[in-house]
Structure formats: C-alpha cells, structure tokens
C-alpha cells in the first residue's frame, strides 16, 4: 500500500480505537448499575476524593454536566480517562517505532488491547482514580519519549505538569519520578533550560491540588481529609484485598490480555530493550512491573503489557515486508479478540 495509507493509518487508527473505547465504556457504565452511592456521593473529601485530588476535581466538574444521572456522569471521568489511556498508549508505540504500516498496526494493537483488557476495562467503567492514573502514566511515558528525542520546552514543561497531576492522582505514580529526574539531568547537560523550572512546576501543580481539595472539603463541613488508609487502599486497583502472589497477578494478566497478547508482551519487552532508542520506554515499563506485582495493580500491568505487545506486533508485521499493510490486521485481531471476548463474558 501507499505511504499515504500508512500515514493515515498511524494518524486515525489510535483515534478510532479511543473513540470506540469511550463509547463502549460509557455504554457499559450505563448498563452495569455500578453507579451506586459510591459514584453518586463522590465529591471533595470523600474516599478517593481527598486521597486523589486531581480525580476528585474532575469528578466534581463532571457532576455538573447535563447528561444522565449524577453517578453515570462521574463514571464518565473513568471512561474518558480509559479512552485517553488507549489513545496515548497507541501514540507511544508510534513514537518509539518507525514511519510505516507495521508501526501503525502495532499502535492499534496496543491501544485496543489495553482498552479490551478485563482488568483495565473494569476500572474504566467504575468510579475511581485508577483509570486516570493509568492515562497520566501513558501520557507521561509519551512525553518522556518526546523529550528524550529532543523536543523543546513545550514538551518538557508539559511533562512537568503531567507529573504534578499524577502525584495528585495516585501514589503509584511516584515510580516514574526517578526516570523523569534522570531525563531532566540529561537534557540539562545538553543545553536545555526547561529542566531548571520543571521540578518547581511539578511541585506547584501537585501542591495546588493537594491543598485545594481539603480546603474545599473543610468549607463544606468535612474536615476529615485523606487518611493513610485511603492512600494505601488506592494501591489496590479497585479489588478487595491487599498484596497477592506474583503468580496470581500473572494469571489475571494472562486472562485480561489473552494468550496471544501475553506472548506478544513477553516478546515486546525484549524488542524494546534491544534498541537504544526505546530504552526510555523500556525503563518506564520495567519500573511499573514491580509495583504491579507487589500491589496487584492489574490495570498498570495491562498497560505495560499492551505497550510491549504493540512493539512486538510492529516488529513481527515488519517482517512481512511489502505486505505489512494487510498482514497487520489479522495479527492485531489475533492479539485483541481473545481479550475482548473475555471482557464481554
């Protein structure tokens, strides 16, 4: 196929995946009945509110939308975050790949596999900050890749803002901190000046959100604020229980991404570490893995697996040479369809 087709596939493939994911999440949220008191009562200072101020603010804004009932509107925050996570995951695969059809199909596979994975779809259709945390980590990984490739102050300061939002969304976000710090030092040594302002901007965004939500809660008569119990509970991905065995999480991950998605993810890790250009993304995934294993964070594990699977699919489809434009579709379907079937059952 022509280069024009490949470019359009790279441009529109991730967008179509994200729009389809949002439509399905919104429909599933409306049909599930999960918008109970947890969703309807969410606000500034409730569980998951003071402990996740960025999500609490978004949920508070969504509650004013003239659509559906109160609980469903709050759930739309998770659905929108899930769709954005799929979009940014696909774009990350494009950022670390080549300008060809194989990369486009790898990106589509990554976004669709994440959106279809059971562990991720579950948190994208229920109220809570986890879907937003995954979306912000996906956006941060994309920004890291852009800044590492030489992007200017716009991407660098955007990365700082994303880090501030992430720190005000979920405690697990701190795992990308050391990687960002190393990247800023590298760019500073190369002559960039935005690394000097980035830490202060991150701290300002995070502090503003952490200060605003408790202040608003106190103004409305709730002086409780976030507790250590709430912060610890957020390290679980929405399921009951605390840390579980790594073997159990591996089994859940295999169920969520399907057998072929799991195989592709294992191959993708090697693909990412093989090329120096993709070391930053490989480092982010490698930093996420121990957290996912320690705290049974299935949604984060699915995100890391989706990125790796996308890289593997791109590498495999590229082997077909001139047939990559058409060979990518069945390979992507082989990875995504089993995961989608499990989610729908």
The answer to whether 147 and 155 are in contact (CB under 8 A) is yes
Q: Which is nearest to 252 in space by CA: 319, 301, 192, 317?
A: 301
First and final C-alpha spacing in the chain: 37
Question: What confidence category does residue 239 fall into, taking pLDDT thresholds of 50, 70 and 90?
Answer: very low
Q: How many CB atoms lie within 10 A of CB 34?
A: 18
Structure tokens at 334: 């082989």
Structure tokens at 25: 């999440």
Question: What confidence category does residue 241 fall into, taking pLDDT thresholds of 50, 70 and 90?
Answer: very low
Tens digits of per-residue pLDDT, 245-256? 556 666 777 788
Q: Return d(Cα 267, Cα 49) in angstroms, integer.
A: 39
Q: What is the pLDDT of residue 331?
A: 95
Give the C-alpha distances (Å, rounded to integers) separating 8 from 35, 191, 207, 209.
Answer: 38, 35, 41, 38
Give the C-alpha distances (Å, rounded to integers) separating 102 from 20, 267, 278, 311, 319.
Answer: 21, 16, 16, 9, 9
pLDDT of residue 46 exceeding 90, the answer is no
Give the C-alpha distances (Å, rounded to integers) separating 282 from 155, 246, 287.
Answer: 20, 20, 9
Torsion sign, CA atoms 236, 313, 148, 186: positive
Q: What is the pLDDT of residue 51?
A: 65
Question: At residue 304, what are phi and psi to the nearest 5 degrees?
Answer: -60, -40
Tens digits of per-residue pLDDT, 148-176? 999 999 999 999 999 999 999 887 788 88
pLDDT of residue 50 exceeding 70, the answer is no
Q: Return d(Cα 337, Cα 320) in angstroms, integer.
A: 21
Structure tokens at 282: 């490989």
Q: Which residue did the predictor score with more confidence, 296 or 332?
A: 332
Structure tokens at 309: 């699977």
Q: Return d(Cα 243, Cα 79) in angstroms, integer.
A: 26
Helical residues (DSSP H) of the chain, grouped into ranges: 3-32, 37-40, 53-62, 70-96, 101-116, 118-124, 130-148, 153-167, 177-189, 194-219, 228-233, 246-274, 279-295, 298-318, 324-344
Number of DSSP helices (H) and strands (E) in the chain, helices first: 15, 0
Tens digits of per-residue pLDDT, 175-201? 889 999 999 999 999 999 999 999 999
Q: Return d(Cα 306, Cα 300) in angstroms, integer.
A: 10
> Domain ranges in the chain?
3-344
The answer to whether 331 and 316 are in contact (CB under 8 A) is yes
């Amino acid at each position: 196929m022509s280069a024009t087709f490949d470019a359009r596939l790279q441009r529109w493939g991730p967008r179509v995946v994200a729009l389809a994911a949002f439509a399905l999440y919104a429909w599933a949220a409306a049909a599930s009945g999960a918008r109970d008191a947890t969703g309807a009562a969410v606000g500034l200072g409730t569980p998951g509110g003071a402990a996740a101020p960025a999500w609490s603010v978004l949920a508070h804004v969504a509650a004013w939308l003239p659509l559906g009932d109160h609980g469903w509107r709050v759930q739309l925050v998770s659905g929108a975050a899930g769709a954005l996570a799929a979009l940014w995951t696909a774009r990350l695969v494009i950022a670390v790949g080549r300008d060809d059809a194989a990369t486009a199909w790898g990106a589509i596979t990554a976004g669709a596999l994440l959106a279809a994975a059971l562990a991720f779809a579950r948190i994208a259709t229920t109220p809570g900050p986890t879907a937003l945390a995954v979306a912000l980590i996906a956006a941060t990984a994309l920004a890291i890749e852009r800044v590492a490739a030489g992007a200017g102050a716009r991407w660098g300061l955007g990365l700082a803002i994303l880090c501030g939002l992430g720190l005000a969304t979920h405690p697990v976000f701190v795992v990308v901190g050391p990687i960002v710090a190393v990247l800023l030092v590298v760019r500073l040594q190369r002559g960039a000046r935005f690394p000097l302002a980035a830490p202060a901007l991150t701290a300002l965004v995070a502090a503003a959100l952490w200060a605003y939500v408790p202040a608003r809660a106190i103004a409305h008569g709730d002086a409780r604020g976030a507790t250590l119990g709430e912060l610890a509970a957020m390290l679980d991905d929405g399921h009951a229980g605390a840390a579980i065995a790594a073997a159990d999480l591996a089994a859940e991950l295999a169920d969520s991404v399907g057998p072929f998605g799991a195989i592709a993810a294992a191959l993708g890790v090697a693909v990412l570490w093989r090329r120096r250009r993709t070391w930053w993304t490989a480092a982010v995934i490698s930093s996420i893995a121990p957290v996912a294993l320690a705290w049974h964070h299935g949604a984060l594990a699915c995100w890391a697996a989706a990125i790796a699977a996308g890289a593997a699919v791109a590498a495999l489809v590229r082997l077909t040479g001139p047939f990559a434009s058409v060979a990518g579709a069945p390979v992507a379907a082989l990875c995504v369809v089993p995961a989608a079937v499990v989610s729908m059952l």
